[in-house]
Amino acid sequence: MSATSSSPQEVDTDDCLLNYSYIFRDDMLKDKVAFITGGGSGIGFRIAEILMRHGCQTVIASRSLERVQASAKKLSAATGQRCLPVSLDVRQPVTINAAVEETLQKFAKIDILINGAAGNFLCPASGLSFNAFKTVLEIDTIGTFNTSKVLYQKWFKEHGGIIVNITATLSYRGQILQVHAGSAKAAIDAMTRHLAAEWGPDNIRINSLAPGPISGTEGFWKLGGLTKAVASLDKLIPLQRVGTKSEVAHGVLYLVSPAASYVTGATLVIDGGHWLTGANNLSVMQALLQKSARL
Ligand code: COA
Ligand code: NAP
């Protein structure tokens, strides 16, 4: 395997990296403040860590206060930066309002918003209840709009800002058992372009980042990552392996950095080329579904 496609050392649990080698300048985000939904776990946790390692202070927000509190402690201990844990439900603007008010009281500004909160599970469209489809759209799509709009009204409109929406490649080839999440993430990619056009004049950059299969995450586990049925997934990916949380976080780091100062309305795919070759495999997916009816 060549150096260009080997993965950095990763930790699969919601804990900080044991070693970190800088690729970007270590003070690149000094004095910046990032508000990260879904920042208490998985990909969001690693995004918080990598931004903090570059001098950023963070707010990590999700429904479970207990979870974000525990994560904030780990993140601050490992990076020496402040991390404020807040509880919110992205489906309820009133809770986002309160969390943003608290952030502005504590940090006096917000420079970056990462919309990472999401919900997903495998389910065929025929078995999906109306409420199940609606729930995923509400968390992913409406939640991303709600949070972006509150941040816009309370800070970004006057001061500018950077938004990164975490999406997915599921809709690119119409992935089976994923009509809910694929539709939700495709709508977010559309929202990224609409808001980039509308809010560009306010000095706000908005981009999507679409990860492929990423190990050590709830999303990967829920979509069958630990089962035998997808054990051969590596061979189907052009770069011959699944991705790491750090690789996604480094994509975010690029998008929020001055290196991306002219990038807006774009979607950065970080998937080792997976969607290009990862065809809908009906028999594998059906086997997966039968193994666990409610992943
Ligand atoms: N398969 C089919 N339907 C499911 C399901 C599954 N595995 N899990 C939940 N649903 C349905 C429920 O039955 C319910 O529909 P109903 O009222 O018609 O019965 C609907 O989805 C909402 O479920 P509920 O548990 O009330 O929603 P919630 O808001 O408490 O939780 C989820 C949202 C379902 C997305 C939950 O999995 C979650 O909180 N996920 C966050 C973590 C995550 O998914 N991480 C991966 C990110 S990619
Ligand atoms: P994860 O750890 O489960 O992340 C989802 C986060 O969203 C959790 O921290 C959860 O915390 C929060 N959340 C869920 N519902 C919420 C709500 N209503 N309000 C506020 N927060 C809510 O899973 P992950 O796999 O790391 O996924 C992170 C992001 O990457 C998601 O956007 C996902 O779609 C995307 N993604 C992941 C993969 C992958 O392979 N893992 C691939 C493509 C895209 P609480 O439960 O405390 O609320």
Give the tens place of pLDDT for each residue, 187-243. 999 999 999 999 999 999 999 999 999 999 999 988 776 565 566 788 889 999 999
Shortest-distance Cα residue to atom 20 of ligand 1 = 132
Tell me which residue of 220, 227, 222, 221 sits closest to 291, measured CA to CA: 227
Total domains present in the chain: 1
In a domain, 224, yes or no: yes
In a domain, 21, yes or no: no
In a domain, 191, yes or no: yes
Strand ranges (E), the chain: 33-37, 57-62, 83-87, 112-115, 161-166, 204-211, 267-270
Average pLDDT, the chain: 93
Q: Convert the pLDDT of each residue in 96-108 to its tens digit.
A: 999 999 999 999 9
Q: Enumerate residues 6+ apart whose C-beta is below 8 A from 21.
A: 8
Distance 112 CA to ligand 2 centre (A): 18
In a domain, 155, yes or no: yes
**Among the bound ligands, the one closest to the CA of 251:** 2
Distance 275 CA to ligand 1 centre (A): 25
Question: What CATH number does the domain containing 99 carry?
Answer: 3.40.50.720
In a domain, 10, yes or no: no
Residues near ligand 2 (Cβ within 6 A): 37-38, 40-44, 62-64, 67, 88-91, 116-120, 139, 143, 166, 168, 211, 213-214, 217-220
Atom of ligand 1 nearest to the CA of 129: 18
Residues near ligand 1 (Cβ within 6 A): 118-121, 123, 129, 131-132, 135-136, 218-219, 222, 294-295
Task: Work out the pLDDT band at 5, boundaries 50, 70, 90.
Answer: low
Atom of ligand 1 nearest to the CA of 294: 7
Mutate to test the pocket of ligand 2, among 165, 217, 252, 270 (most ligand atoms within 8 A of CB): 217
Q: Convert the pLDDT of each residue in 125-150 to its tens digit.
A: 999 999 999 999 999 999 999 999 99
In a domain, 279, yes or no: yes
In degrees rounded to 5, what are phi and psi of residue 114?
Answer: -110, 115
Residue 93's pLDDT is 98
Percent of the chain with pLDDT over 70: 93
CB atoms within 10 A of CB 60: 28
Q: Give the type of residue at 71.
A: S
Q: Give the type of residue at 228.
A: K
Distance 261 CA to ligand 2 centre (A): 27
Residue 3's pLDDT is 43
**Among the bound ligands, the one closest to the CA of 248:** 2
**Among the bound ligands, the one closest to the CA of 243:** 2
Strand ranges (E), 90-185: 112-115, 161-166
Stated pTM of the model: 0.97
SS3 97: helix
Which residues span the domain enclosing 53? 33-294
In a domain, 7, yes or no: no
In a domain, 8, yes or no: no
